[in-house]
Structure 1
Amino acid sequence: MEIRTKFYELLSHCIPPTVILKTITEGVVSQVDKTLKAEIMHWAVLYEV
């Protein structure tokens, strides 16, 4: 519920969803193993559209 609240707060302050997704993706990619990076980027791009 905390994450949902933070998403709604960002959206209510007119932060575009694409910016939110890009920021989260960059943060996750920087913390995972090299083998997962391509798959994470694939799904991020798929949902960005």
Structure 2
Amino acid sequence: MIGTGTAIDSARLKHFLGDILHVNPRSIQAYTMGEHGGSQMCLGHLLLEYHIY
């Protein structure tokens, strides 16, 4: 079952990682899965884009 609880936690995770890595949270694909609490897992990856002008 997919619920809104993990969607909110996923958004919080993206913003937390963005603050730590100094990148836009929109550049991060991260998801939380499982029951809210100790059994929750974090999955994701980060793709950094460099623009050279």
The TM-score with structure 2 as length reference comes to 0.37
The structure richer in helix per residue is 1
Q: TM-score, normalised by structure 1?
A: 0.39
